[in-house]
Chains A and B, each alone.
Chain A
Amino acid sequence: MNRIVFAAAAVFALLPLSARAGDEGKEIVIGITLSTTGPAAALGIPERNALDFVPKEIGGVKLKVIALDDGGDPTNATNNARRFVTEANADIIMGSSVTPPTIAVSTVANEAGVPHFGLAPMPFTAARLKWSVDLPQPIPVVGKVLYDHMKKNGVKTVGFIGYSDSYGDLWMNDLKAQAAAMGIQIVADERYARPDTSVTGQVLKLVAANPDAILVGASGTAAALPQVELRERGYKGPIYQSHGAASMDFIRIAGNAAEGVFIAAGPVMAPEGQDDQSLTKKPGLALDTAYETKYGPNSRSQFAAHSYDAFEILKRVLPIALKHASPGTPEFREAIRKALLSEKEIAASQGVYNFTEQDRSGVDERSRILLTVKNGKYQVVK
């Protein structure tokens, strides 16, 4: 008898996720692949943490969220995405945390015809336009706020130091495209890698070139390394940091050297200072309060906001899609895709989304703010 029970339990456990659900149409399956280990763990972990604060049901239908780890590796991300499609019969796929696995997930989603929410900046090609949307602000949108500030403060020459990978390249290219057109001259292009222990050489060259301002194209706490070194080597001009650096950990690591820095950020970093009619204020406050209650003061994170915002968007589009078709069917996925296009002014913590056939990130100037650091705290620059 016992053996039969065991065998039944084993068979049950081995069944694919979809078959076990049994009562299809009663829940919406959402597959999320994140880089909670590996070099992108600093991004993937807050993204996973934020899943604690997303709704459990939308439009009266239960959401079933499956989160897997891809370690930042495109191969793993592809496998995860295929599992979502084939085993879990997912209606929505999200992820991943950095660009290469995000591209991989997007490829699978577009093949299978499943709506995909990218959580890292990714380049769009014709083959990915149909089913993928991307939540993080594209670099040209964020860069503009920095260049405008430079221009306003009479910066004529700018030096660049950034990652020697695609993130650094994206910023350097945008600097060339936008700032150069505004009459700001680029006088230095220096690169370093995230695990580097010293940027002395690069910083000495920057200080020798003596630009009016310096832009750092790096992310996370590694962006603090040139910040500290530049101040130590006596650079007095303003230092600009990208939105990849805007975190509380940046201040913790850079210490006094962070004072007076200008950092572009998503609005979720400072919802308190926003106008009451601003659409990003309410979701931003909701997420930050919930997140900091659970993970400690000053733990708010833009990465957590990306996965949270994906569900903010779902809150708007799923009720519409549910009117047209029932979950688990290709018609339902098509309805989600259409609803993403028809819904306008979708408010989230990091921006206001208006997706179109061509603009798949859908954000405007409301998706970025400029911060500075004063007495170890972020302040909004008006």
Chain B
Amino acid sequence: MNTTILLLLAQDGVTNGAIYALLGFGLVLVFAVTRVILIPQGEFITFGALTYAALASGKLPGTAELACALGFVAFCVEMFSIRHQFTTGRLVRATALYILAPALALVLAQFACRGTSSATINIALSLMIVGPIGLYLYRIAYQPIAHASVLVLLIASVGVHLALQGLALLFFGAEGMRAPTITDVAASIGPLRVTGQTLAVYIVAASLIVALWLFFGHTVYGKALRATAVNRIGARLVGIRTVLSGQIAFMLAAGIGAISGILIVPMTTIYYDSGFLIGLKGFIAAIVGGLASYPLTAAAAVAVGIVEAFSSFYASNFKEVIVFALIVPVLLARSLSAPIMEEEKD
């Protein structure tokens, strides 16, 4: 072990940690607003990564069609639930959101994969496809049971995760994909080689943190989300539409997941089921942050990344064991320090 290796490992750890941090944010955001533990977060990574990789290699990503199909189901669910308070305005809004938006994305994707589109367009399109999938999932699977207990929501999450994983296999096949790097720029600082890709990871992670902070602190929607997180009933009493908050939270989480996927797919091979394990590491970070604190989640995520890098060097056989064992002392400390709360009542 010398300084060079130390630095290289730290760099690897921070890069992965930044991605775990993004995923942790998504989890904290969704849990705070909707009390859903977002197990399908991993699938958003997969969808984002594979959609981007497919577009980059000039193929039509299956997720574009999936978004249309899910949008249609969500539209039907929406129509059924508003059948007693039907207005034209609602019909127009639902049609635009659930039918036209994914159809537009599909048409654009068809154009994009025919010619050679730039990386920027591919990224934007991937987000346009995967982000709404989050929203539709909320409409289909979670909104009808929004008032159920955390456990019921968790079980629903497991179901959604399994369903999405099966769909990913159907749409992308069992073999992995890798995308070209966003930029080939690279600079050397001493022994460290900083590629444009790792730089992009740091920049995106940092700017998303700032963007989330601005969103929650300075916009009406952000404040509405926070209010919903603090007290659902109170928020409804002051006129905040908690349903809308849930939808926004899911769309943001899906978007964040997709961005993580797009960032990671040029650096490694992503399979239809890779997302779950990556998402789990974000989950550890979110747990350390108590599923509530963003700064704590970010710090924990970087710690997870660094522990992972060093354990892969020292004891690669036990890497996952070490990483996931991190959660045990944290849970112990939390359960000892937290006041005893009554069981949740339905």
Residues on A close to B: CB < 8 A? 37, 39, 41-42, 44-45, 164, 190-202, 204-205, 208, 220-222, 224-225, 249, 253
Task: Indicate if the CB atoms of A253 and B169 lie closer than 8 Å.
Answer: no
Chain A residues with Cβ below 8 Å from B169 are 37, 41
- A253 and B313 in contact, given A195-B277, A197-B268, A225-B268 (Cβ under 8 angstroms): no
Q: Bound state CA distance, A249 and B178, in angstroms?
A: 11
B78 at the interface (CB under 8 A from A): no
Q: Mark B1-31, 1 if CB is under 8 A from A, else 0.
A: 0000100110010011000000000000000
Task: Indicate if the CB atoms of A192 and B316 lie closer than 8 Å.
Answer: yes
Q: Bound state CA distance, A32 and B312, in angstroms?
A: 39
B317 at the interface (CB under 8 A from A): yes
Give me 14 other A-B pairs in contact (C-beta within 8 A), A197-B268, A205-B313 excluded. A41-B174, A41-B272, A192-B316, A193-B320, A195-B273, A195-B276, A200-B9, A201-B311, A201-B312, A220-B176, A222-B176, A222-B269, A224-B269, A253-B269
Task: Indicate if the CB atoms of B317 and A164 lie closer than 8 Å.
Answer: yes
A185: shortest Cβ distance to chain B, in Å? 20
Residues on B close to A: CB < 8 A? 5, 8-9, 12, 15-16, 166, 169, 173-178, 264, 267-269, 271-274, 276-278, 308-314, 316-317, 319-320
7 A-B contacts (beta carbon < 8 Å): A42-B174, A164-B317, A164-B320, A197-B264, A201-B309, A208-B5, A222-B176
Chain A residues with Cβ below 8 Å from B166 are 37
Chain A residues with Cβ below 8 Å from B174 are 41-42, 44-45
Residue of B176, B276, B313 with most chain A CB atoms under a 10 A cut-off:
B176
- A204 and B317 in contact, given A41-B174, A222-B176 (Cβ under 8 angstroms): no
- A204 and B268 in contact, given A41-B174, A192-B312, A198-B309 (Cβ under 8 angstroms): no
Count how many pairs of residues, one from A and one from B, have CB atoms less than 8 Å apart in the complex. 93
Task: Indicate if the CB atoms of A201 and B267 lie closer than 8 Å.
Answer: no
Task: Indicate if the CB atoms of B176 and A198 lie closer than 8 Å.
Answer: no
Task: Indicate if the CB atoms of A204 and B269 lie closer than 8 Å.
Answer: no
Q: Bound state CA distance, A198 and B317, in angstroms?
A: 14
Task: Indicate if the CB atoms of B316 and A253 lie closer than 8 Å.
Answer: no
Q: Bound state CA distance, A192 and B277, in angstroms?
A: 13
Q: Bound state CA distance, A192 and B317, in angstroms?
A: 7
Chain A residues with Cβ below 8 Å from B311 are 201
Q: Bound state CA distance, A39 and B174, in angstroms?
A: 8
Task: Indicate if the CB atoms of B176 and A200 lie closer than 8 Å.
Answer: no
Task: Indicate if the CB atoms of A164 and B316 lie closer than 8 Å.
Answer: yes
Q: Which of A45, A195, A198 contacts B267, CB < 8 Å?
A: A198
A239: shortest Cβ distance to chain B, in Å? 17
Chain B residues with Cβ below 8 Å from A45 are 173-174
Task: Indicate if the CB atoms of B309 and A200 lie closer than 8 Å.
Answer: yes
Chain B residues with Cβ below 8 Å from A200 are 8-9, 12, 309, 312
**Chain B residue nearest to A205 in the complex (CB):** B313
**Chain B residue nearest to A208 in the complex (CB):** B5
- A197 and B16 in contact, given A37-B169, A164-B316 (Cβ under 8 angstroms): yes
Chain B residues with Cβ below 8 Å from A221 are 175-176, 269, 271
**Chain A residue nearest to B309 in the complex (CB):** A201
Chain B residues with Cβ below 8 Å from A198 are 12, 15-16, 267-268, 308-309, 312
B71: shortest Cβ distance to chain A, in Å? 25
Q: Bound state CA distance, A37 and B168, in angstroms?
A: 11
Task: Indicate if the CB atoms of A197 and B310 lie closer than 8 Å.
Answer: no
Task: Indicate if the CB atoms of B313 and A201 lie closer than 8 Å.
Answer: yes
Task: Indicate if the CB atoms of B267 and A197 lie closer than 8 Å.
Answer: yes
Task: Indicate if the CB atoms of A195 and B309 lie closer than 8 Å.
Answer: no
B38: shortest Cβ distance to chain A, in Å? 19
Chain B residues with Cβ below 8 Å from A42 are 174-175
A186: shortest Cβ distance to chain B, in Å? 15
Chain A residues with Cβ below 8 Å from B16 are 197-198
Q: Bound state CA distance, A201 and B322, in angstroms?
A: 14
Task: Indicate if the CB atoms of B316 and A201 lie closer than 8 Å.
Answer: yes
B291: shortest Cβ distance to chain A, in Å? 24
Chain A residues with Cβ below 8 Å from B319 are 164, 191-193, 196, 201
Task: Indicate if the CB atoms of A195 and B271 lie closer than 8 Å.
Answer: yes
A177: shortest Cβ distance to chain B, in Å? 19
Q: Which of B12, B274, B313, B316 contacts A195, CB < 8 Å?
A: B274
Chain B residues with Cβ below 8 Å from A44 are 174
Q: Bound state CA distance, A121 and B16, in angstroms?
A: 34
Chain B residues with Cβ below 8 Å from A249 are 175-176
Task: Indicate if the CB atoms of B316 and A197 lie closer than 8 Å.
Answer: no
Task: Indicate if the CB atoms of B12 and A201 lie closer than 8 Å.
Answer: yes
Chain B residues with Cβ below 8 Å from A205 are 313, 316
Chain B residues with Cβ below 8 Å from A224 are 269
Q: Bound state CA distance, A204 and B1, in angstroms?
A: 10
B18: shortest Cβ distance to chain A, in Å? 12
A19: shortest Cβ distance to chain B, in Å? 33
Task: Indicate if the CB atoms of A199 and B312 lie closer than 8 Å.
Answer: yes
Cβ-closest 3 pairs across A and B: A201-B312, A201-B313, A41-B174
Chain A residues with Cβ below 8 Å from B264 are 197
